[in-house]
Amino acid sequence: MSGDAGGAGAAAASGMAAPRPVIGLEIHCQMTSLKSKLFCPCRADYRGMGPNENVCPVCMGMPGTLPRLNAEAVRKGTMIAMALGCAIPERISFFRKNYFYPDLPKNFQITQLDMYGDTSIGGRGSILVDGGAVGIRRVQLEEDPGRMIYEGASARNHISLVDYNRAGTPLVEIVTEPDFEGPRQLRLFLQMLSDMVENLGVCNPALEGAMRADANVSLEGGNRVEIKNISSFHDLEKAVVFEIARQEAQHSRGLEVAQETRHWDAARKITIPSRLKEGEEEYRYLLEADIPWVRIDAETVESLKSRMPESVSEKRERFVSQYMIPPQVADVLSSDKLYSDLFDAARTDKNARELANIITTDLMGLVMAAATTEPAPDSDAAGGDAQKKRDDPASDVISVDGLRELADAVASGQMARNSAKQALHEMTKTGKSFSEVSSEMDLGLVSDESELLGVVRSVISEEPKAAEQASSNPNTINYLVGKVMQKTRGKADPQVTLELLKRCLLGD
């Protein structure tokens, strides 16, 4: 390309330089915290039920039934739109998206569309991700389809089963502008969004299938490829990286990228073309006349604003400025609602720093280990127990009071950090209280001089070289403190130990 007489500009025009990738997302987020489906009284939480137990004439699309809009879904959807910096419309409407596929018995999905002005739950928002703005085109409410289950391995002996428990459960779809600069920003956005919906109390992203995403990928000026229904964010990033490379390879060979829908083959780690589906124009969108337009008045907007919880970034800022928690620790703590709630419940002005430390360095690891090693008892119900565990994993293993007492003991110098780790382990394993564990395990800090003096003397006699150098090299004193700690398994009060050593070796 450098040999071209026209230089870089001509090279780009002749199609040799790879144009910039253009990436946009559509994220489907289940409103798992709601009680009922979007248009009927069936449960929104369909998990762990037998096939087709969570259905009624409305979500089964029986003739003569009428949908009735879930008001809490409108409120929660509006809160998501607000958190994404969207404009809230004065009124919202619903549309029928027609398609013939057995996962929705009505043969249409009730969704939103901005056909007559801005009538989706939110739109034209923007949030800052990794220093760059990502535009939010639209936030819309819609119903989730049922689940298709395919049995039989060969094409000839193929059985399709359908389970409508999920059909009609409330979803929020978030459509971004194609603003992503690369996979890193994509990953950070998804993490931020997942933290946000969890913090708003709308969705538990840890539940299987609670957040799914489609990605639109193209090279500037080229055709757009849609990668459908990727259920893990990790896979989404890999799929986008693969797809950009594939399109760039096509481009460098002078081939046009076909406009198509592809899906991610997680086993082979490639995207492959999907069978043809309807294009937008084939959905024959139609205003859903069975659901009246809903007015979102200023009073509602104000009351929802007052219901908005502290955002993840505000929380992080509070942890850093109010409790002097190191920024990296505050990042970890603020982005997880369960742990940050636990922190806020157990903290005092004095123990906050130690508490944050105990939660992020010890407790999170213990909970994670318990979740992966513990066999779920009598749970053949498709991971139902494991899911319940993840709903509130920390409070299952330790009480707020226990955690507070533990952090208090470390903060006041009654217990060494090392011993606190042991105590936490014992408390989570046995369910015993802090006072039981600390007296049984004898974990209190030893600060009694007469008790420590014996240990200090034996360390000095075992380390004659270091003892000799102590007067000329202060570092060796720290080394000897470490030795005393080792002998007492971390229980010696470091301050008292230091003073005793100085007294014995330097005559201070």
Candidate residues 22, 34, 42, 466; the one interacting with Zn ion per rule CB under 5 A = 42
Which is nearer to Zn ion, 112 or 169 (by Cβ)? Answer: 169
Instruction: Report in angstroms how near the CB of residue 103 gets to Zn ion at its nearest.
Output: 15
Q: Which stretch binds Zn ion (CB under 5 A): 12-20, 49-57, 298-306, 372-380?
A: 49-57
- Applying CB under 5 A, does 34 fall inside the site for Zn ion? no
Q: Which stretch binds Zn ion (CB under 5 A): 52-60, 89-97, 241-249, 387-395?
A: 52-60
Which is nearer to Zn ion, 51 or 494 (by Cβ)? Answer: 51
- Applying CB under 5 A, does 40 fall inside the site for Zn ion? yes
- Residue 363 CA to residue 427 CA, distance in Å, equals 11
Mutual orientation of helices 312-323 and 327-334 as an angle, nearest 10°? Answer: 140
Instruction: Report in angstroms how near the CB of residue 56 gets to Zn ion at its nearest.
Output: 3
The full DSSP string for 69-130 is --HHHHHHHHHHHHHTTPBPPSEE--EEEE---TTSTTSEEEE---TTSS-SSEEEEEEEET
End-to-end CA separation in angstroms for the chain: 77
Instruction: Report in angstroms how near the CB of residue 247 gets to Zn ion at its nearest.
Output: 42
Neighbour order of strands in the sheet with 95-98: 108-111, 95-98, 286-287
Instruction: Report in angstroms how near the CB of residue 43 gets to Zn ion at its nearest.
Output: 9
Neighbour order of strands in the sheet with 260-265: 122-129, 132-143, 170-176, 21-30, 211-219, 225-230, 260-265, 270-273
C-beta neighbour count of 111 within 10 angstroms: 19
Which is nearer to Zn ion, 56 or 270 (by Cβ)? Answer: 56
Q: Which stretch binds Zn ion (CB under 5 A): 26-34, 56-64, 268-276, 345-353?
A: 56-64
Which is nearer to Zn ion, 122 or 170 (by Cβ)? Answer: 170
Residue 125 exposure: Cα atoms within 13 Å on the Cβ side:
25
Instruction: Report in angstroms how near the CB of residue 323 gets to Zn ion at its nearest.
Output: 46
Quick check: helix, strand or coil at residue 13? helix
Instruction: Report in angstroms how near the CB of residue 67 gets to Zn ion at its nearest.
Output: 10
Which is nearer to Zn ion, 40 or 73 (by Cβ)? Answer: 40
- Residue 148 CA to residue 133 CA, distance in Å, equals 37
Which is nearer to Zn ion, 58 or 84 (by Cβ)? Answer: 58
Spatial contact of 213 and 236, defined as CB atoms under 8 Å apart: yes
Q: Which stretch binds Zn ion (CB under 5 A): 40-48, 71-79, 181-189, 471-479?
A: 40-48
Q: Tell me the two tokens of residue 481.
A: 């403190």
Instruction: Report in angstroms how near the CB of residue 161 gets to Zn ion at its nearest.
Output: 19
Instruction: Report in angstroms how near the CB of residue 45 gets to Zn ion at its nearest.
Output: 13
Instruction: Report in angstroms how near the CB of residue 167 gets to Zn ion at its nearest.
Output: 8
Instruction: Report in angstroms how near the CB of residue 71 gets to Zn ion at its nearest.
Output: 16
Spatial contact of 219 and 235, defined as CB atoms under 8 Å apart: no
Query: Would you state the torsion angle of the CA atoms of residues 361, 366, 371, 374, taken in this order, to the nearest 10 degrees?
Result: 160
Site size for Zn ion (CB under 5 A)? 5
- Applying CB under 5 A, does 49 fall inside the site for Zn ion? no
Q: Which stretch binds Zn ion (CB under 5 A): 38-46, 141-149, 372-380, 444-452?
A: 38-46
- Applying CB under 5 A, does 59 fall inside the site for Zn ion? yes
Residue partners of 270: CB distance under 8 A and separation at least 6: 242, 246, 264
Instruction: Report in angstroms how near the CB of residue 220 gets to Zn ion at its nearest.
Output: 45
Instruction: Report in angstroms how near the CB of residue 139 gets to Zn ion at its nearest.
Output: 24
Cα 108 off chain centre by: 31
Instruction: Report in angstroms how near the CB of residue 307 gets to Zn ion at its nearest.
Output: 27
Q: Which stretch binds Zn ion (CB under 5 A): 54-62, 133-141, 385-393, 407-415?
A: 54-62
Candidate residues 56, 206, 376, 453; the one interacting with Zn ion per rule CB under 5 A = 56
Cα 484 off chain centre by: 43
Cα 398 off chain centre by: 22
Spatial contact of 435 and 405, defined as CB atoms under 8 Å apart: yes
Q: Which stretch binds Zn ion (CB under 5 A): 48-56, 153-161, 172-180, 360-368?
A: 48-56
Binding map of Zn ion across residues 334-353, x = CB under 5 A, - = no contact: --------------------
Q: Give whole-number Cα distances, 278 to 101, 110, 261, 274, 401, in Å.
A: 11, 16, 10, 12, 57
- Residue 195 CA to residue 340 CA, distance in Å, equals 12
Which is nearer to Zn ion, 56 or 188 (by Cβ)? Answer: 56
Q: Which stretch binds Zn ion (CB under 5 A): 53-61, 214-222, 264-272, 442-450?
A: 53-61
Which is nearer to Zn ion, 119 or 165 (by Cβ)? Answer: 165
- Residue 56 CA to residue 41 CA, distance in Å, equals 8
Which is nearer to Zn ion, 38 or 496 (by Cβ)? Answer: 38
Q: Which stretch binds Zn ion (CB under 5 A): 59-67, 181-189, 295-303, 369-377?
A: 59-67
- Applying CB under 5 A, does 294 fall inside the site for Zn ion? no
Quick check: helix, strand or coil at residue 291? coil
Q: Which residues bind Zn ion (CB under 5 A)?
A: 40, 42, 56, 58-59
